[in-house]
């Protein structure tokens, strides 16, 4: 096979990996939108917050240290102990569930039948709040996150792919980051678990009922509040996983919260209400971006990565407003 083709395959593979990351974040959006009709803009910041908490716990950092020092003039920073990754992840998950409970009790309860635009803006408020709170709690410097996921290029894969190249070509094999592979696997596992959960378990069915019609679900005895707490906890968990993957890849920093903006085009393609849609959408955008960077980028001055996904989604939207898998909306008068 010719190097160009191999190079193309490599880009596609990397694209798929990136796509998986997008769909991971998109998944969080879809879950919350399906269950409560809220477009949770704060999903990205939740991932950032989860990652910050994880790193903070792992390194035994004192929460709100910056604030305490400012008030009492003390200089404490670390507790001194470090926590193995596994426990840190568990505690962070517990924190995310607590956060879901608090958010539902304090905010969602009061905004039950508000128009979607009001709920959407509440999540923007939540995003700002969480960002400030996260920085306050763990400091806003860039942190390295290492939970024992192998990272770096996989030499084994490079060797194998080099042999595919036709003789005499100076092709050095494909560069695949091990981390991306792990992330892809985790994502696949997560998707299967979620689909299984929502299809076959009692709670899952309740979740889909609430997504369809709040009043109807309540009338058959499903308590809206527990469902919402459950949903926000699951999306908190998804945010944690996304936070870990993104954090491990590019470090835990503010730009992590911008991935939410990345997930939007994915949702457009896949439709807001379908889990498979989120996955397929994510892959399309991932691959599309990488290929566009490769071929279209140079013509137009490069770095078209951040707006290309939107244009694709926009074009798609004009022809099929309800996305890949969403049902056609018939307007009744």
Partner 1 sequence: MLYREAGDFKSTYAADQQTFPIKSERYLFWAFMAVAFFVVPFFINDYWEKSILVPLLVWTMVALGINILTGYCGQVSLGTGGFMAVGAFACYKLMTGFPDLNIVFVILLSGFVTAGVGVLFGLPSLRIKGFYLAVATLAAQFFLVWMFNKFPWFYNYSASGQITAPERTVFGIAVTGASSAPWATYLICLSFVFVFAWIARNLTRGRVGRGWMAMRDMDIAAEIMGVSPFNAKLSAFAVSSFYIGIAGALFFSVYLGAAEVTEAFGIEKSFTALFMVIIGGLGSILGSFLGAAFIILFPVLLKNIMVGYLGWPTDLASHFQIMIIGGMIIFFLIVEPHGLAQLWRLTKEKLRTWPFPY
- CB atoms < 10 A from the CB of 186, how many? 17
Identify residues 108-167 at the interface with partner 1 (CB under 8 A).
110-111, 114, 116-118, 120-122, 124-133, 135-136, 140
Burial of 257 (0-12, 13-18, 19+ CB in 10 A): buried
Alpha-carbon distance of 172 to 54, in angstroms, equals 37
Identify residues 36-55 at the interface with partner 1 (CB under 8 A).
39
Residue 76 sits in the site that holds partner 1 (CB under 8 A): no
Residue 264 sits in the site that holds partner 1 (CB under 8 A): yes
Residue 260 sits in the site that holds partner 1 (CB under 8 A): no
Residue 254 sits in the site that holds partner 1 (CB under 8 A): no
Query: Among 6-14, 63-71, 82-90, 94-102, which window interacts with partner 1 (CB under 8 A)?
Result: 63-71
- Closest separation between CB of residue 258 and partner 1, Å? 8
Residue 107 sits in the site that holds partner 1 (CB under 8 A): yes
- Closest separation between CB of residue 161 and partner 1, Å? 33
Residue 301 sits in the site that holds partner 1 (CB under 8 A): yes
Alpha-carbon distance of 241 to 186, in angstroms, equals 8
> Which positions touch partner 1 (CB under 8 A)?
39, 66-67, 70-71, 107, 110-111, 114, 116-118, 120-122, 124-133, 135-136, 140, 261, 264-265, 267-268, 272, 300-304, 306-307, 310-311, 313-314, 317-318, 321, 331, 333
């Amino acid at each position: 096979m010719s190097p160009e083709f191999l190079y193309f395959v490599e880009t596609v593979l990397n694209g798929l990996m990136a796509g998986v990351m997008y769909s991971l974040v998109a998944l969080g959006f879809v879950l919350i939108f399906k269950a409560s009709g809220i477009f949770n803009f704060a999903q990205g910041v939740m991932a950032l917050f989860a990652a910050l908490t994880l790193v903070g716990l792992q390194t035994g950092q004192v929460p709100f240290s910056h604030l305490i020092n400012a008030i009492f003039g003390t200089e404490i920073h670390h507790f001194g102990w470090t926590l193995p990754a596994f426990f840190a992840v568990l505690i962070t998950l517990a924190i995310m569930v607590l956060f879901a409970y608090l958010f539902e009790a304090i905010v969602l309860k009061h905004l039950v039948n508000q128009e979607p635009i009001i709920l959407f803006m509440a999540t923007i408020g939540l995003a700002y709040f969480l960002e400030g709170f996260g920085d306050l709690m763990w400091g806003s410097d860039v942190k390295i996150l290492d939970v024992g996921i192998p990272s770096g290029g996989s030499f084994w894969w490079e060797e194998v792919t080099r042999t595919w190249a036709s003789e005499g070509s100076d092709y050095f094999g494909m560069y695949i980051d091990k981390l991306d592979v792990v992330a892809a696997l985790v994502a696949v596992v997560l998707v299967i678990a979620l689909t299984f959960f929502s299809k076959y378990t009692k709670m899952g069915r309740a979740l889909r009922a609430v997504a369809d019609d709040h009043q109807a679900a309540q009338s058959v005895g499903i308590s809206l509040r527990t469902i919402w707490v459950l949903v926000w906890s699951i999306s908190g968990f998804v945010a944690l996983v996304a936070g870990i993957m993104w954090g491990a890849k590019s470090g835990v920093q503010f730009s992590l919260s911008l991935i939410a903006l990345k997930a939007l085009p994915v949702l457009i393609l896949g439709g807001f209400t379908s889990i498979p849609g989120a996955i397929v959408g994510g892959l399309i955008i991932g691959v599309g971006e990488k290929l566009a960077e490769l071929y279209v980028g140079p013509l137009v001055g490069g770095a078209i990565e951040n707006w290309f996904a939107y244009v694709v989604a926009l074009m798609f939207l004009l022809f099929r407003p309800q996305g890949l898998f969403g049902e056609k909306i018939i307007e009744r008068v």
